[in-house]
């Protein structure tokens, strides 16, 4: 999976217009400061260290090779993690490297294995991930779905025996690059507290849908079915910043703003929050994902999945991947989608400095900022973790440059 660049996206004028408006309101490091494009995509404002993309990838790949990953699998996973950081999803990028490493060390993930097809029709497949790295399973599954969609119009692949597969949107992007609609969902460790419950029973259970528009433009929805992904709380904990009270509950089932307490208890609220604020809808979406993943695949599901952070139990996650060829339906799909995307972006905003965005625009803007600065800004604690990993596995430390 090659690192994607902004050359894939043609709406450069729109992106640069957004950048100029956001940057005019961001003063901490002037233009060099990463703009605040939502909490999940915010750099560490105190960080003055820039890490070139290829150096970040090199470090992650070296660490994976050091613990026994095959060359091909280490390449796939390091590209997957780098893509998450490049697109601004720092919770699912290098932040996840140590977790993958510990799973490999403890024998709960096989870093050399390749997935195997168990059952197949012209449009469907059941894939055994063989407890391999999630990014490896996910890439393979979507490739199968894409090939089937090209042949018969649709491909639907279910995987079991998988692990954490990174940001879901990466798999939708695989389909988009082939001119197809892409869809993927995964279950996770039980972190969501169902509406009216005191304990977590479902995962964050993210879902993604991506579709190609004209000239490389696209729509890309990538969301958790909880109010937030646990990784966002982990990032807040690393940065020692409070979290909104609608994200998670404490031991007593009360909304919590301390990220350390929230992360320890691991009781996320469903998308929407409380029942009064329609949190039951997020709870329902979490069930939708679980039916596609754990129930349909025969993998672990709901409360039967290992506790988050436990590297001594096999995860056995279930995941689903779908690719659809829009050309087998009404002609003009990309034209109509582009028309709608353009209409939405050009709507009059409440705040003229905050234009209307389409899902995927924030990621493209973040990529533009990374390109402009020449690399990624990782939080200080990430650099500390990397130094420890470098010493432990005797790999070259990640080289970053200091800026003013």
pTM: 0.89
Q: What is the pLDDT of residue 34?
A: 34
Q: b/e map of 107-125 (b: 16 or more CB within 10 Å)?
A: ebbbbbbebeeeeeeebbb
Q: Answer for the pair 159, 171: CB distance below 8 angstroms, yes or no.
A: no
CATH 1.10.1530.10 fits domain 6-107+364-402: yes
Across the chain, which has 404 residues, the per-10-residue mean pLDDT values are 47 58 40 37 62 99 99 99 97 96 97 98 99 99 99 99 98 99 98 95 98 98 94 88 92 92 94 94 99 99 92 95 99 99 98 97 98 96 97 98 85
Return the SS3 of 282: helix
Summary count for the chain: helices (H), strands (E): 13, 12
Q: b/e map of 356-365 (b: 16 or more CB within 10 Å)?
A: ebbbbbbbbb
Where exactly are the structural domains of the chain? Answer: 6-107+364-402, 116-227+268-336
31 has which bridge partners? 29
Q: What is the pLDDT of residue 43?
A: 44
Q: What is the pLDDT of residue 340?
A: 99
**Residue 272 to residue 250: CA distance in whole angstroms:** 17
Q: What is the pLDDT of residue 178?
A: 99
Q: What is the pLDDT of residue 19?
A: 57
Query: 116-227+268-336: same fold as 6-107+364-402?
Result: no
Q: What is the pLDDT of residue 156?
A: 99
270 has which bridge partners? 226
Q: What is the pLDDT of residue 17?
A: 58
Relative orientation angle of helices 361-373 and 12-23, to the nearest 10 degrees: 70
383 DSSP assignment:
H
Task: Write out the H or E segment, with its range, that includes residue 22.
Answer: helix 12-23
162: left (phi over 0), alpha (psi -120 to 50) or beta: beta
Q: What is the pLDDT of residue 404?
A: 72
**CATH no. for 116-227+268-336:** 3.30.1370.60
Q: What is the pLDDT of residue 265?
A: 92
Tell me which residue of 315, 325, 358, 3 sits closest to 186, measured CA to CA. Answer: 315
């Amino acid at each position: 999976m090659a690192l994607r660049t902004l050359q894939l996206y043609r709406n450069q004028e729109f992106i640069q217009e957004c950048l100029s408006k956001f940057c005019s309101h961001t003063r901490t490091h002037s233009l060099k400061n990463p703009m605040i494009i939502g909490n999940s995509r915010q750099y560490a404002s105190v960080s003055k260290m820039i890490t070139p993309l290829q150096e970040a990838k090199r470090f992650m790949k070296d660490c994976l090779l050091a613990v026994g990953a095959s060359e091909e699998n280490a390449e796939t996973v390091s590209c997957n993690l780098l893509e998450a950081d490049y697109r601004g999803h720092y919770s699912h990028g290098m932040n996840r490297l140590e977790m993958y490493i510990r799973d490999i060390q403890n024998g709960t993930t096989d870093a050399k294995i390749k997935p195997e097809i168990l059952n197949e029709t012209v449009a469907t497949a059941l894939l055994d991930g063989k407890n391999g790295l999630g990014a490896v399973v996910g890439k393979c599954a979507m490739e199968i779905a894409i090939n089937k969609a090209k042949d018969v119009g649709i491909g639907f692949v279910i995987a079991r025996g998988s692990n954490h597969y990174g940001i879901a949107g990466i798999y939708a992007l695989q389909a988009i690059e082939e001119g197809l609609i892409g869809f993927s969902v995964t279950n996770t460790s039980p972190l969501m507290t169902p509406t009216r419950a005191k304990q977590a029973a479902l995962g964050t259970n993210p879902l993604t849908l991506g579709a190609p528009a004209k000239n490389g433009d696209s729509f890309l929805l990538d969301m958790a079915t909880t109010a937030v992904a646990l990784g966002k709380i982990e990032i807040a904990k690393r940065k020692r910043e409070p979290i909104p009270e609608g994200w998670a509950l404490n031991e007593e089932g009360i909304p919590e703003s301390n990220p350390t307490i929230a992360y320890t208890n691991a009781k996320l609220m469903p998308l929407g929050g409380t029942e009064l604020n329609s949190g039951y809808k997020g709870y329902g979406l979490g069930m939708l994902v679980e039916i596609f993943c754990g129930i349909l695949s025969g993998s672990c599901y709901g409360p039967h999945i290992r506790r988050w952070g436990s590297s001594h139990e096999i995860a056995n996650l279930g995941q689903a991947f779908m690719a659809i060829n829009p050309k087998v339906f009404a002609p003009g799909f990309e034209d109509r989608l582009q028309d709608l995307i353009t209409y939405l972006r050009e709507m009059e905003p409440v705040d003229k400095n905050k234009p209307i965005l389409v899902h995927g625009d924030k990621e493209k803007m973040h990529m533009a900022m990374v390109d402009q600065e020449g690399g990624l800004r990782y939080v200080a604690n990430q650099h500390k973790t990397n130094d420890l990993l470098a010493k432990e596995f005797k790999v070259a430390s990640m080289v970053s440059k200091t800026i003013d």
